[in-house]
Chain A
Amino acid sequence: MDWSKLVKHVSDLALVDLQKGEVEPLIRDLEKIVRMINAVNELKISDDVEPLYTTFFGDVNLRDDVEVGEPTNIKDVCAVKERIEGGYIRSPRTL
């Protein structure tokens, strides 16, 4: 496996920019961890086993579908204060 390529690919997918000095130690660690998690491949599991994604088996609590009014506490909701302009959150102009 070409670990440098893999790390580049995965970091692009995850939108994490890695600095030069970070790549080598990361590759060393990832090799070890991937070897550890590969242990699940030793297990033969029949197709009829249902995957378990949660251990919560109650009724999922959904909020009532009610109309939401204008927010009144915009300063509290947006923690990046410098983004607030005239009561609105100013999104950055990116390319």
Chain B
Amino acid sequence: MFPPQCSHISSLGIAALREKVKEDPDFLFRYIEEVYKVIERHEHQLRAYITVRSKEDVLRDAEALLKAGNIGPLGGALIAVKDNISTSGIRTTCASRMLESYIPPYDATVVTKLKNAGGIVLGKTNMDEFAMGSTTENSAFYPTLNPWDLSRVPGGSSGGSAAAVAACEATVALGSDTGGSIRLPAAYTGTVGLKPTYGLVSRYGLVAYASSLDQIGPIGRYVEDVAIMLEVISGHDPRDSTSLKVAVKDYGSYVVDGPIKMYRIAVIEEMVEEGVDRDVMAVFNKTLEKLESYGLTVEFKKMPIIRYSLPVYYIIAMAEASSNLARYDGLRYGLTHEVEGKLWTEVYKRVRSMGFGNEVKRRILLGTYVLSEGLYEGYYLKAAKVRRILYEEFAKLFKEFDLALSPTSPILPPRLGEVIDDPLKLYSLDVNTVPINLAGLPALSVPGGYAHGLPVGVQVFGPHLSEGWLLNVARLIEVMRE
């Protein structure tokens, strides 16, 4: 089931596209024409992109790919890249006035890998400024709309990537996830979004928000597409100091229509108890029932410490953000200002005042607050200790269970303006996604069903490096939904 913007050809997945291009290479040009038709018709409303490459440039890339005689595992797939991921020669703004005209001189490792695997970058997608937000309304340029209902948000912060994929304005996309920024928009747009284990995918070329939590991951319309993308972008990268030295897995082999293992699945009671919308719970419970019908076991477990995830996450993320964003001084790149003869602090403050939006300023100030003298122990250090307890609780849980499930978001996609003015309402959208980042676990969101014509995402998460199992269970959910 796709939103109305999609056509038969534009909704093809990677594997189908690759097969068609193998049979008839000229099909790639027809496919590109079709996707650009969707963009021409709908992008003025959706505003999923900040930069769309010209069709001529993309057709030229396609020609070069076909000429090289190896279309790779991606077969000419058109890739939408979140605008906080470095693309050589293509503007990378982080949806901020601060970097509005910044053109990086290099590709992020993930972008290099996608290009080498037969992917073509189509454009750069809208997002919450510096990935700080959950609705894509915090973009300095414009909000992105939800393809399923244009009065609603697509989630964030990778809302542009998810909306572009959902509306068939791209084959697949890259997002980044610090506290749910891939999974939440995937849930709100009916797409599949995966946040890998911390360190599985290189962060080289990702503009840093909170470095101990940030991960790049794929968004696709099909579980299989996400598996193909993950296989391409994962693997060790010497340019990322926290890149894991693990062998790349054949993730596609997990995307089969039956369980490859009789999974023991946990549902953490605190993730389904409070504030979860009745419609969301109905879809979630139905998903559990269907998984049980495969012979999988589902058991509810308590984990009281998880209630503290939201404050712990915001303390840590804001502290790291205040440090990471100190580099924006207007001297080397980004927004600049007349400086001659002025105090350096005056210049620095002026540039940051003009360049950052409200949410970014709010997080920088809070990060500075929790790290300031006399408060550090009570906030940052305490949060880091709670993070340790949470990490160990998850380790215990996954000794007893293989995987866990929860609703990705407690509510259906909010309407534009509904939560943006209240930071607590906004932050609470992440209540079920942030614990995963704190523990560095892998997780994905897959559509479990629909309520009032809107998609409802189910979050599947597991122990470190269990991406294969997550994809297998996500495929079961996809099959059951079909």
Chain A interface residues toward B at CB < 8 A: 6-7, 10-11, 13-19, 22, 25-26, 29-30, 32-34, 36-41, 43, 45, 49-56, 58-63, 73, 76-80, 82-83, 89, 91-95
Interface residues of B (CB under 8 A from A): 102-105, 198-199, 212, 238, 240-245, 308, 310-312, 314-315, 322, 326, 330-334, 336, 339-345, 347-350, 352-353, 356, 358, 361-362, 364-370, 372, 378-379, 381-389, 391, 422-424, 427, 438-440
Q: Is the CB of A14 within 8 A of B364?
A: yes
Are B424 and A33 neighbours in the complex by a CB distance under 8 Å?
A: yes
Q: B322–A37 contact, CB under 8 A?
A: no
A47 CB → nearest B CB, Å: 9
Would A52 and B391 count as touching, CB distance under 8 A? yes
Are A89 and B105 closer than 8 Å at their CB atoms?
no
Contact B384 A51 (CB under 8 A): yes
What are 17 A-B pairs at a CB distance below 8 A?
A: A15-B352, A16-B364, A18-B353, A18-B361, A19-B353, A33-B314, A37-B366, A51-B381, A51-B388, A54-B212, A58-B245, A79-B102, A80-B330, A82-B336, A93-B339, A93-B340, A95-B344
Task: Let me know if B358 and A22 touch, CB within 8 A.
Answer: yes
What residues of chain A lie closer than 8 Å to B348, measured between beta carbons?
A: 15
Q: Which of B308, B350, B361 contacts A22 (CB 8 A)?
A: B361
Given contacts A10-B368, A60-B242, contact A55 B340 (CB under 8 A): no
Residues of B within 8 A of A78 (CB): 332-333
Residues of chain A within 8 A of B424, CB atoms compared: 32-33, 36
Please determine whether B356 and A56 come into contact, CB atoms closer than 8 angstroms: no
B342 touches A95 (CB 8 A): yes
CA distance in complex: A33, B336 (Å): 31
Q: Which secondary structure dominates where chain A touches chain B?
A: loop
Tell me which residues across on chain B come within 8 A of A53, comparing CB atoms: 212, 384
Other-chain residue from A45, A59, A61 in contact with B386 (beta carbon distance below 8 A): A45
Provide the bound-state CA to CA distance between A73 and B344, in Å: 27
Instruction: Report whether B379 and A40 are in contact in the complex, using a CB–CB cutoff of 8 Å.
Output: yes
Chain A residues near B314 (CB-CB < 8 A): 33, 36-37
Q: Contacts of A79 on B, CB cut-off 8 Å?
A: 102-105, 332-334
The residue in A6, A30, A55, A73 that gathers the most chain B C-beta atoms within 10 A of its C-beta is: A55
A56: which B residues are within 8 A, CB to CB?
198-199, 212, 242, 244, 440
Closest chain B residue to A82 by CB distance? B336
The docked-state distance in angstroms from the alpha carbon of A59 to that of B245 is: 9
Residues of B close to A37: CB separation below 8 A? 311, 314-315, 366, 370, 379
Using Cβ atoms and an 8 Å threshold, which residues of chain B touch A58? 199, 242, 244-245
Distance, CA A63 to CA B345, complexed state (A)? 33
Task: Choose among B332, B372, B384 the residue that contacts A13 (Cβ–Cβ < 8 A).
Answer: B372
Closest B residue to A42 using CB positions: B308
Are A92 and B331 in contact, CB atoms less than 8 angstroms apart?
yes
**Which residue in chain B gives the minimum CB-CB distance to A38?**
B311
**Bound CA–CA A59/B236 (angstroms):** 12
Complex: how many Å from CA A40 to CA B244? 31
Q: With a CB–CB cut-off of 8 A, which chain A residues contact B364?
A: 14, 16
Q: A15 contacts B349, CB within 8 Å?
A: yes
